[in-house]
Amino acid sequence: MVAETAEQTAKTRSRKRYKRGSSKAYLFLFPTFLVLFVFVYYPIIESFRLSRNRVAPFGGQEIGVGFENYTRLLQNSDFWDTVKVSLWFMVGTVPIGIGLAVIIALLLSYPLKRLNWFYRTLIFLPVVISSAIAGVLFRLLYNPVVGFFNYWLGLIGIDGPNWLADRSWALVAVTIAVVWRQLGFNVIIALAGIQNIDSQLYEAAKIDGAGTFARIRYITLPQLSPTLFFLAIINVIISLQAFGEINILTDGGPGRATTNLVYQVFVDGFVGTHFLGRASAQAFLLAVMVVAISFIQFRGLGKRVHYQ
Amino acid sequence: MTTEAITQVQTAPAQHRKRRNWGDGPVHVVLLVIGLIIALPVVIAFFMSFTPLREILSQGAAPEILPNTWTMENYDKAWTASPFPRYMLNSIIQTGVITIAQVVFSVLAGFAFAMFEFRGKNALFALVIGSLIIPFELTFIPNFVLISDLGWANTYAGLTVPFLASAFGVFMMRQFFLTIPRDLYDAAKIDGASDWYYLWRIMVPLSKGAISAFTIFAFLSAWNQFLWPLVITNEESMRTAQIGIRFFLVNQERATDWGAIMAGTVIVMVPTLIIFLFAQKQLVKGIAASGLKG
């Protein structure tokens, strides 16, 4: 033992450990990688294979059809409608969700002497709410008979729409529910980002005579840009994958007004007959869309992000 | 105790200098209004779950938030008119198994990545990180096929096995373990401690904060799962609470029994609300970690 410690220079040390830890390391990693390989990596390959088959309902026979599922989808206007719903939904949720979160986080970063914990508890609350529960809560609020939204709108003289049954309002209704559910998470991330900013920068600005809004404009927001960038990426991904609220609030309707790509994958693959080939092809196109938009964000926004 | 703990985190370093000329009044008012608006859907659900159905319906187009008379009949109905006890049991089993497995496996793998040198270490770690960016829609159809072929649809195995490991957990544990001085490991080795002993008796107790933050994160994600339990169960007796409330809504809405629906909603939310109120510090830490390092 003593001799071993004595000869432990940096290099022999790592070589020794390499020998000693090697097989043990694989044992420690085994459970995690077993699950990752079977349920994450293998399914990617399998998903692509399925998408090039016509799969008989209930997992029976598979007929190879090459890229027919894809070419059919791309020529189908229903498919493009679901893409449009996904994109409109993204445009509706992401900027509003992040904008609100930043404003609220700025307010929360104000050094109040008391009640700080109380406001944070109220504002962080949606972070523990599931998409299913958010769907149920907003289904009550939108309800035309016992719901609260239209009652409140009525109090200020607005005749509210029939939110979930009106083609032009259903997507707005789902958007509000998802922005709400996502708000707790976004505020927590934005607040953590604000609190990570070096306070010396504010001191310097104070000496230079900068006012509140100047400090926000020239210090907080630029310093916060990596956080905003992260929020933009995550929120785009989350919005493109929105499912629970749609399932409970509108079931993709009225008509197909709130059927986004994920919802169509669900309908094709799991409602009634299982068209798993077509569902897989759409899932693949959706994944491509998610990756492509993230990539565009990295190229476009990434350059403007200010890192310390 | 808890309140103290919460206050402590929450008044953590605030960076803006004080603007005494305005006073704090306006900020209090604005934050209170925003806070109430955000919490309102949950508050409404809570009070409506204690409101008699007659009252809800008679108020009609002018709904009130507070009940005039309080009742437990909605909870009776939610608990007995549908298999809610069973839904909750299923969710507890599903969430418990997933959470325990994710925490234990993440600690093991995080330890290996932090402390051992071995062939393929970088490649394997890249595989862990890579799996974080794979959208679930790429995996859930083949997983559905696989689980169905195994005969695991409508079983606890089907609900849990695909989620027994967490790439995020491995990453978080590794990052934290790397902050613990290596000398401690070397010293323990000299004293003859095995890796196993060192991990569970020294490393884990030192990492309580990070581990509990991840535990809460894992619990919430598992409890709140929706799409997977929806497609992998079609028997009522195997539904989780989230799926149960969805079908309960569909049934009771026809009867416009919103009191019972809200009672069911509160039942499903209770475990997550308890965590939110009593472990907010760890919860916020876990979420902030996903943002700052992700």
Please tell me which residue of chain B has the smallest CA distance to A204. B17
- How far away is chain A from the Cα of B211, in angstroms, using its nearest Cα? 17
CB contact under 8 A, A21 and B195: yes
pLDDT at A253: 79
Q: By the 8 A CB rule, do B91 and B127 touch?
A: no
- How far away is chain B from the Cα of A197, in angstroms, using its nearest Cα? 8
Cis bond upstream, residue B13 (ω within 30) = no
CB contact under 8 A, B7 and A24: no
Q: What is the band of A58 on the pLDDT scale with cuts at 50, 70, 90?
A: low
pLDDT over 50 at B10, yes or no: no
pLDDT at A183: 94
- How far away is chain A from the Cα of B152, in angstroms, using its nearest Cα? 14
Sketch the domain layout of chain A as residue ranges. 69-304
Which positions ≥6 away from B236 have C-beta within 8 Å? B83, B86, B247
Chain A residues whose CB is inside 8 A of the B258 CB are 140, 143, 146
Q: Which of A59-68, B42-51, B85-94, B168-177 has the lowest mean pLDDT?
A: A59-68
Q: For testing the chain A interface, which of B1, B18, B22, B38 should be mutated: the one with the most A CBs within 10 Å? A: B38
pLDDT over 90 at B228, yes or no: yes
Which positions ≥6 away from A56 have C-beta within 8 Å? A62, A63
CB atoms inside a 10 Å sphere around CB A74: 12
CB contact under 8 A, B287 and A18: no
Residue A247 sits at the chain B interface (C-beta within 8 Å): yes
Please tell me which residue of chain A has the smallest CA distance to B256. A146
Q: Which of A140-144, A216-220, B44-48 has the lowest mean pLDDT?
A: A216-220
CB contact under 8 A, B38 and A123: yes
- How far away is chain A from the Cα of B176, in angstroms, using its nearest Cα? 17
Per-residue tokens: B155: 């079983």
pLDDT at B294: 38
pLDDT at A307: 61
CB contact under 8 A, A202 and B15: yes
- Residue window 265-284, chain A: list those with CB within 8 Å of chain B: 265-266, 269-270, 276, 279-280, 283-284
Average of pLDDT values for A28-57?
Answer: 86
Average of pLDDT values for A102-109?
Answer: 92
Q: For testing the chain A interface, which of B133, B137, B140 should be mutated: the one with the most A CBs within 10 Å? A: B137
Q: How far is CA A11 from CA A15, A17, B111, in A?
A: 6, 10, 21
Q: Which of A8-17, A133-142, A237-246, B148-157 has the lowest mean pLDDT?
A: A8-17
CB contact under 8 A, A202 and B17: yes
Q: By the 8 A CB rule, do A174 and A242 touch?
A: yes
Chain B residues whose CB is inside 8 A of the A147 CB are 63
Fold of A69-304: MetI-like fold (1.10.3720)
CB contact under 8 A, A39 and B162: yes
Residue-wise burial string across A1-19, b where 16 or more C-beta atoms lie within 10 A, e elsewhere: eeeeeeeeeeeebeeebee
- How far away is chain B from the Cα of A168, in angstroms, using its nearest Cα? 23
**Mean pLDDT estimate for chain B:** 86
Chain B residues whose CB is inside 8 A of the A43 CB are 138-143, 146
Residue B103 sits at the chain A interface (C-beta within 8 Å): no
- Residue window 64-93, chain B: list those with CB within 8 Å of chain A: none
Q: By the 8 A CB rule, do A96 and A179 touch?
A: yes
- How far away is chain A from the Cα of B111, in angstroms, using its nearest Cα? 8
pLDDT at A3: 44
pLDDT at A185: 92
For the stretch A183-210, pLDDT in tens is: 999 999 999 888 888 888 888 887 887 7
Which 3 state secondary structure label does DSSP give A226?
A: helix
Cα separation of B149 and B170, whole Å?
29
* Domains observed in chain B: 23-71 (no CATH), 79-293 (1.10.3720.10)
**Mean pLDDT estimate for chain A:** 84
- Residue window 1-60, chain B: list those with CB within 8 Å of chain A: 3, 6-7, 10-19, 24, 27-28, 30-32, 34-36, 38-39, 41-42, 44-45, 48, 56-57, 59-60
Chain A residues whose CB is inside 8 A of the B60 CB are 145-146
pLDDT over 80 at B271, yes or no: yes
Q: Complex ipTM, two decimals?
A: 0.85
DSSP string, A255-297: TTTT--HHHHHHHHHHSSS--HHHHHHHHHHHHHHHHHHHHHH
Average of pLDDT values for B169-181?
Answer: 91
Please tell me which residue of chain A has the smallest CA distance to B219. A128
For residue B184, the one-letter residue type is L
pLDDT at B13: 46
- How far away is chain A from the Cα of B181, in angstroms, using its nearest Cα? 15
Per-residue tokens: A90: 């993204």
Please tell me which residue of chain A has the smallest CA distance to B112. A25
Which 3 state secondary structure label does DSSP give B149?
A: helix
Q: What is the band of B292 on the pLDDT scale with cuts at 50, 70, 90?
A: low
CB contact under 8 A, A131 and B226: yes
pLDDT at B26: 86
Percent of chain A clearing pLDDT 70 (strictly above): 89
Chain A residues whose CB is inside 8 A of the B216 CB are none
Q: By the 8 A CB rule, do A38 and B150 touch?
A: no
Cα separation of B105 and A31, whole Å?
6
**Who has greater pLDDT, B132 or B177?**
B177
Average of pLDDT values for A114-130?
Answer: 91
Residue A242 sits at the chain B interface (C-beta within 8 Å): no
Residue B273 sits at the chain A interface (C-beta within 8 Å): yes
Closest CB to B137 among A42, A132, A265: A265
Residue A119 sits at the chain B interface (C-beta within 8 Å): yes
Q: What is the band of A125 on the pLDDT scale with cuts at 50, 70, 90?
A: very high
**Who has greater pLDDT, A108 or B15?**
A108
Q: By the 8 A CB rule, do B123 and B117 touch?
A: no
CB pairs under 8 A between A and B: 326
Closest CB to B38 among A22, A183, A286: A183
For residue A68, the one-letter residue type is E
Cα separation of B13 and A195, whole Å?
7
Q: How far is CA B111 from CA A221, B133, B165, B196, B207, in A?
A: 37, 22, 14, 10, 11
pLDDT over 70 at A70, yes or no: yes
